[in-house]
Amino acid sequence: MISITTSFNIQTFLGDIYGENFNSPTCILKGHVFYAFINALYYSFVNQAFYRYCRILYPMNRWFQLLRVYLIIFFVELLLINIILSVQTYIWYDIIYLNNEYYCLLDYKRIRSVIWVVFNIYAIPLSLIMLIYFRVGRFLRRQQTNHTLMIKQRQQRDFIILRRIIIIIGILIILGIPTIVLIFVFFITGEMHPLFHRVMWFAVNLSAMTLSISLAIVTPQLKNMIWKKFQQTQIIPLPNAITNEKQMRHNTIDT
């Protein structure tokens, strides 16, 4: 993701300064990979929600808690994502070279591709996560009270993480509202705002920054790792320094 956005920025800079043309099959492929990465990112939240779902509803089934299971799910999702998005890339040819921006991206003037992207990248993952959230919430309200305290506490922690995932996705969608508003303005007026792509990239960069902070909150293991790293960087007094300080205090008292 970082390499692609950096490449787009470099192409825009070289295009503005030297007027270079970067239209090529590789450029189209980078545009495709950009949307595929965003789609895979949202499905990673679906996988996290599904993991919490299995831990709460099926705590005795260890098969759904194995790392290799989720690795298989991830690669299957990645394959399906690329197949689905290939429709707009290589059948509809809606990822085009933007002459004024000097990189390849979706032609937002084509409503079918806008609907296709919004539905596959945002609507489906968000609907799956909401379905999991409500299913888990209903289960926790109806469950029997014969569970141990430790199991109940773990279930509540998983449910809280589910809620945080929904909040993070909600924030990411809110950050994309300015871009959506400009798209609707185009559909109404028939004119694309000249700052459309600038606004879109600002929202993308702000979303990436928000996501980096939010992942540490949602993932307890990552948060603990960061906290341990922070503690290791604190200044720890050396044993010799402590011994010398105690000796100086002792000598002062003797005198």
Question: For 35-76, how does the pLDDT look when each residue is reduced to its tens digit (9 = 90+)?
Answer: 999 899 889 889 988 988 888 888 777 787 788 888 999 999
User: What are the tokens at 49?
Assistant: 């929600």
Q: Give the H or E element holding residue 97.
A: strand 95-98
d(CA 226, CA 154): 22
pTM score > 0.75 for this model?
yes
CB 89 within 8 A of CB 32: yes
Q: Residue 15 CB: number of other CB atoms within 10 A?
A: 18
2 or 255, greater pLDDT: 2
Q: Which residues contact 155 (CB under 8 A, 6 or more apart)?
A: 55, 56, 140, 147
Neighbouring CB atoms inside 10 A of 237's CB total 8
SS3 call for 104: strand
Number of independent structural domains in the chain:
1
Three-state DSSP class for 106? strand
Task: List the one residue out of 201, 152, 163, 158 whose CA is nearest residue 34.
Answer: 201
Domain range for residue 237?
A: 2-254
**What distance in Å separates the CA atoms of residue 112 and residue 187, rounded to the nearest whole number?**
12
Q: What is the mean pLDDT of residues 173-195?
A: 83
**In this model, does residue 239 exceed pLDDT 60?**
no
| Nearest of 75, 46, 230, 57 to residue 137 by alpha carbon | 57
Percent of the chain at pLDDT exceeding 70: 80
Phi-psi bin for 102: left (phi > 0), alpha (psi -120 to 50), beta?
A: left
Token code pair at residue 20: 């270079």
- The one-character DSSP state at 191 is -
CA-wise closest residue to 50 among 151, 128, 157 = 128
Cβ distance 222 to 215 under 8 Å?
Answer: yes
With a cut of 50, say whether residue 241 has pLDDT above it. no
Are 11 and 103 in contact, with CB atoms under 8 Å apart?
yes
Predicted pLDDT at 227: 56
Q: What value does the mean pLDDT take over residues 166-186?
A: 82
CATH number of the domain where residue 111 is located: 1.20.1070.10
The H helix count followed by the E strand count for the chain is 10, 2
User: Amino acid identity of 35?
Assistant: Y
